[in-house]
Chain A
């Protein structure tokens, strides 16, 4: 049932996972003489939660940055929706419907939560600068529609009580949630989460896991996430890519990965003989 084909299948908990939406083919990324990613290939399927894990310095964030267009790999190809993607700037990637959050939160600290989330709607705004300033006709209608979409996300992530609070005044866990809200506001087809649970306590992690699952379930968003916490990864994801020193050492369902000897060695260390 869980085979790697282009066809869709249904998971144990009743979600439909579609065909491949994004494929990384033989990606190699170098910084000078340092090889951050070495010849890695994997794919992401429609509607799945795909995790990238690995010890520190394994190249996980580099991989995410390749997907989001921030780094340009020296070798290899990124295929998106069945087409080879030409080299792109991050904003062009974002316009294609790939949204992300950052490991160390990148919000506008002085702006309210509402305004921050509204910035996520930028790809759904067409009115020009002048029209927006005059706030007439199309610009007005557009803002009302965007505000409605944002309010639904605020409701979804249960952050109504901080709607008007400047982000700078919020605790860490809530900032993470606001960042997720902003990424969701773009209505992405693929959502990239860079360590969404880093630095959280158990309760916050549980909340965040709930939201990730709900986003996937409710909007059918494809999610690719990087995470340190093995427990979280194994519970959340459908398939896992394991990286170590820039190489792919495992790829499969959580159960397959868990029993993979290379993965165990990478995480627990291996005796040198």
Chain B
């Protein structure tokens, strides 16, 4: 691409890229948001004006260079403008998860000493007011949606549009100051600070420079030939590094349009209306969509169901090969084309994937059936492996080399190595600067030569050179007989069943491996409806004998597949229990990005784990739950513990690679 040659030509900050986009193709769309049922749009030239007036407004409010500005809200153009306006005035944007509880926010905002916050609505304003007293440096709050806020004390509270208005009014007063601040930005200036979700301990503030973000965005955009004509839908949390790279880094580098949904609940409709060409979703989203398709097909008429089954079987056979450009017979191609006309095309349209050219999934392992389903429809879904500390990209799957069980080859500019304990290390221009106010962790994670420990254990496949990730390095343990225990690997195999939402495996230092299972209420509930099984609550459904039978089948199938893997055959599940409640981020059992917090789960359910190992048939337990508004309650239940068949394998000791 022509743009790549200009990498070093002074485009060393996001505001500089904004200026380039607005002057080179100012008439192209930069942002769209659906409001009042209509897609509103802003061109690059209009976006530049919005951002400039906001930046002037921020100076007017007293934002200094080096200040931190917290951003709390769902994906809306206003918050993306805030990112760039903050950068323009030399401040550092810090996006927060908008569904975080007030005390979680208090920690982060106190840690970075934010003086300003730009938030969405009354809900967020209330949360910040609640924690305000703990925040000594905090001064002003700006909100976007004025509903319900009219009566609030407005000494330190401002409406977003008013701040922009005041900025425009004070144009001549501050424009020189703004220009000077913008000029000062270089490759080493801080672009953004993102807090990691933290499966253990307190969140850490990852400081990413303009170099990190722009270099990563440039090389990954070149890898997939992204252009200014891409359309993306921004719906993933703004506090997550992926959204920052896709909706800010790559969007500004390439100059493509970021589309914001009307509300979180309308995401599916909006996706269909926009028809993105470049799409990212965690495996969970693909999984939910597939489950919905399957549920609806169960309710479809006979002819439709038959057509769907016949053509999907054909697609599974030849679809991925056609996508990869491998040789496929003429007759098969003709049948695939017919299928495209009657099934695949309409289905892709319904799902909103008609135009997807490049699709990525990451964050968790994706089930083979799910992955194959989308690829067989002709959707170029690939996997990547990344981290906040790497500005996302560590490995990527090149077109034509896509597989379910690997995460691909090193991304452009990334060096990889694996140490003798099996942990994966990387070094790249995207490697973060440091953890904010946490030198100890910085030194532990990043060595003097710039190598960063991923915390994941993995190995390179010999014939392809692709990286395979087994598990978190610290979670990989040894069973009592010394064989390898990789809980996440086992859990993922369980979670590949649509009926299982979450699983937690235990076995480190033990004789046997056991597991907790959470049913997927959607899938199991639908199954119960079809089979005339009545239930009044989640708890009752989860404890139903037929549901337990179904889970037992799933566990035993996982055991059979584990037995085939020479390294992990000892991880077969001997006993399991279906939990009476979903693991929930509000209870601290999983992170906001839905990763299991093992220690907390192990602590909280110690009685159940004990019962899994002492041979008892059932266990009565009481569990504390936290409601969305922070109140506590408790539920009690008697849970049945089941034994699962295991495939006998000669036990052998395996040393880590």
Q: List residues of chain A with CB under 8 Å of any chain B CB.
A: 13-15, 147-148, 151-152, 154-156, 158, 160-161, 163, 203, 213-214, 217-218
Q: Measured between C-beta atoms, what is the minimum distance from A207 to chain B in Å?
A: 11
A-contact bits for B24-62, CB 8 A (1 contact / 0 none):
000000000001111000000000000000000000000
- Choose, from B14-22, B143-151, B533-541, B602-610, the stretch at the interface: B143-151
Known: A151-B36, A155-B35. A214 touches B263 (CB 8 A): no
Residues in A whose Cβ lies below 8 Å from that of B37: 147, 151, 154, 160, 163
Distance in Å from the Cβ of A173 to the closest Cβ of chain B? 14
Q: CA–CA, A218 to B121, complex, Å?
A: 14
A217 touches B151 (CB 8 A): yes
Contacting residue for A161 out of B36, B38, B266, CB 8 A = B266
Known: A155-B35, A160-B262. A217 touches B150 (CB 8 A): yes
List, in ascending order, chain B residues with CB within 8 A of A213's CB. Answer: 148
CB of B265 within 8 A of chain A?
Answer: yes
Q: A75 CA to B148 CA in the complex, in Å?
A: 41
Nearest-neighbour CB distance to chain B for A193, whole angstroms, equals 19
Instruction: Evaluate contact between B263 and A161: CB separation under 8 angstroms.
Output: yes
**A148-B36, A160-B262 known; A214-B269 Cβ under 8 A:** no
- The answer, among A13, A151, A158, A203, for a CB contact under 8 Å with B151, is A13
Q: Are B151 and A214 neighbours in the complex by a CB distance under 8 Å?
A: no
Contact check, B263 vs A158: say whether CB atoms are below 8 A apart. Answer: yes
Query: Are B148 and A217 closer than 8 Å at their CB atoms?
Result: yes
Q: Is the Cβ of B265 less than 8 Å from the Cβ of A160?
A: yes
List CB contacts (< 8 Å) of B254-268 with chain A. Answer: 262-263, 265-266
**Minimum Cβ distance to chain B for residue A214 (Å):** 5
Q: Is the interface of A mostly helix, strand, loop or mixed?
A: helix
**Nearest Cβ in chain A — how far from B626, in angstroms?**
14
Residue of B nearest to A164 (CB): B269
For residue A13, which residues in chain B have a CB less than 8 angstroms away from its CB? 151
On chain A, the residues within 8 Å of B269 by CB distance are 161
A218 touching B262 in the complex, CB below 8 Å, given contacts A152-B36, A155-B35: no
Interface pairs (26), CB distance under 8 Å: A13-B151, A15-B151, A148-B36, A151-B36, A151-B37, A151-B38, A154-B36, A154-B37, A155-B35, A156-B147, A160-B262, A160-B263, A160-B266, A161-B263, A161-B265, A161-B266, A163-B37, A203-B628, A213-B148, A214-B148, A217-B148, A217-B150, A217-B151, A218-B147, A218-B148, A218-B150
Q: Once the chains are docked, how many angstroms separate the CA of A13 from the CA of B281?
A: 44
Q: Report B297 CB to chain A, min CB distance, Å.
A: 19
Task: Give the complex CA separation of A214 and B147 in angstroms.
Answer: 8
How far apart are B58's CB and chain A's nearest CB, in angstroms?
Answer: 27
Chain B residues with Cβ below 8 Å from A148 are 36
Q: Across the interface, which residues of A come within 8 angstroms of B263, CB to CB? A: 158, 160-161
Distance A140 CA – B38 CA, assembled complex (angstroms):
17
Residues in B with CB closer than 8 Å to A156 are 147
**What is the bound-complex CA distance between A160 and B262, given in angstroms?**
8
CA distance A211 to B628 in the complex (A): 18
Chain A residue at smallest Cβ distance from B261? A160
Q: For residue B265, which residues in chain A have a CB less than 8 angstroms away from its CB?
A: 160-161
CB-defined contacts of B151 to chain A, threshold 8 Å: 13-15, 217
A147 CB contacts on chain B under 8 angstroms: 37
The closest CB in chain A to the CB of B268 belongs to A161
Task: Using A155-B36, A160-B262 as known contacts, list a sample of 10 further A-B pairs with CB atoms less than 8 Å apart, ordered by residue number in A.
Answer: A14-B151, A147-B37, A151-B37, A156-B147, A160-B263, A160-B266, A161-B263, A161-B269, A163-B37, A218-B150
- 0/1 per residue, B147-191, Cβ < 8 Å to A? 110110000000000000000000000000000000000000000
- A14, closest chain B residue (CB): B151
When distances are taken between beta carbons in the complex, the residues of chain A under 8 Å from B150 are 217-218
Nearest CB in chain B: distance from A151 CB, A:
4
A147 to B38, CA, bound (A): 11
Min distance, Cβ B267 to any Cβ of chain A, angstroms:
9
Measured between beta carbons, the chain A residues less than 8 angstroms from B35 are 155
Closest to B149 in A: A217
CB neighbours of B36 from chain A (8 A): 148, 151-152, 154-155
Most chain A CB atoms below 10 A, which of B36, B150, B266: B36
CB closest chain-B residue, reference A153: B36
A158 to B121 alpha-carbon distance, docked (Å):
13
CA distance A151 to B39 in the complex (A): 13
Residues of B within 8 A of A161 (CB): 263, 265-266, 269
In the complex, A122→B465 CA distance in Å?
Answer: 68
**In the complex, which residues 118-148 of chain B have their Cβ closer than 8 Å to any Cβ of chain A?**
147-148
Chain B residues closer than 8 Å to A158, beta-carbon distance: 263
Residue of B nearest to A163 (CB): B37
Compute how far the CA of A13 lies from the CA of B148 in the bound complex, rounded to whole angstroms.
Answer: 12
A154 to B262, CA, bound (A): 11
A155–B151 Cα gap in the complex (Å)?
21
Please, which residue of chain B has its CB at the minimum distance from the CB of A213?
Answer: B148
Closest to B38 in A: A151
User: In angstroms, how far is the closest chain A Cβ from the Cβ of B259?
Assistant: 15
Please give the distance in Å from A212's CB to the nearest CB on chain B.
12
Q: How far is the CB of A156 from chain B (nearest CB, A)?
A: 7
Q: Which of B37, B38, B147, B262 has the most CB of A within 10 A?
A: B37
Closest to B35 in A: A155
The 4 A-B residue pairs whose C-beta atoms are closest, nearest first, are: A161-B265, A151-B36, A14-B151, A161-B266
Residue of A nearest to B266 (CB): A161
In the bound complex, what is the Cα–Cα distance between A250 and B517 (angstroms)? 56
| Bound-state Cα–Cα, A14 to B152, Å | 9
Query: What residue of chain A has the Cβ atom nearest to residue B151's Cβ?
Result: A14
Bound Cα distance from A217 to B148, whole angstroms: 7
Contacts of B628 in A (CB 8 A): 203
Complex Cα gap A147–B36 (Å): 9
Shortest CB–CB separation between residue A86 and chain B, in angstroms? 38
List the A residue with the shortest CB-CB distance to B148.
A214
Distance (whole angstroms) from the CB of B346 to the closest CB of chain A: 18
Q: How far is the CA of A155 from the CA of B628 in the complex (A)?
A: 23
Q: Which residues of B contact A15 (CB under 8 A)?
A: 151
- Residues of A close to B38: CB separation below 8 A: 151
Minimal beta-carbon separation of B262 from chain A (angstroms): 5
Residues of B within 8 A of A160 (CB): 37, 262-263, 265-266
Residue in chain A with minimal CB distance to B145: A155
Q: Which residues of B contact A152 (CB under 8 A)?
A: 36
CB distance from A197 to the nearest CB of B (A): 17
Report A170 CB to chain B, min CB distance, Å. Answer: 13
* CB closest chain-A residue, reference B267: A161
A190 and B35 alpha carbons, distance in the complex (Å):
28
Complex Cα spacing A147 to B147, Å:
21
Task: Give chain B residues whose Cβ lies under 8 Å from the Cβ of A14.
Answer: 151
A220 to chain B, nearest CB (A): 11
Give bound CA distance, A187 to B35, whole Å. 21
- Distance in angstroms from B161 CB to nearest chain A CB is 16
Cα separation A219 to B632 with both chains bound (whole Å): 35
| Nearest Cβ on chain B to A269's Cβ, whole angstroms | 31
Cβ of B122 to closest chain A Cβ, rounded Å: 9
A215 shortest CB reach to chain B, Å: 10
Shortest distance in angstroms between B32's beta carbon and chain A's nearest beta carbon?
16
> Shortest beta-carbon distance, B521 to chain A, in Å?
15
Bound-state Cα–Cα, A180 to B269, Å: 24
Residue of A nearest to B627 (CB): A203
Q: Which residues of A contact B262 (CB under 8 A)?
A: 160
Task: Give the complex CA separation of A213 and B122 in angstroms.
Answer: 13
Per-position 1/0 for B641-657, Cβ under 8 A of A: 00000000000000000
Q: What distance in Å separates the Cβ of A144 from its nearest Cβ neighbour in chain B?
A: 11
Q: How far is the CB of B522 from chain A (nearest CB, A)?
A: 15
Q: Give, as a whole number of angstroms, the nearest-CB distance from A273 to chain B.
A: 42
Q: Bound complex: CA of A151 vs CA of B265, how far in Å? A: 16
Q: How far is the CA of A152 from the CA of B151 in the complex (A)?
A: 21
In the complex, what distance in Å separates the CA atom of A15 from the CA atom of B150? 10
Question: Could you tell me the distance in whole angstroms from the C-beta of A14 to the nearest C-beta in chain B?
Answer: 5
Determine the distance from Cα of A237 to Cα of B69 in the docked complex, in whole angstroms.
39
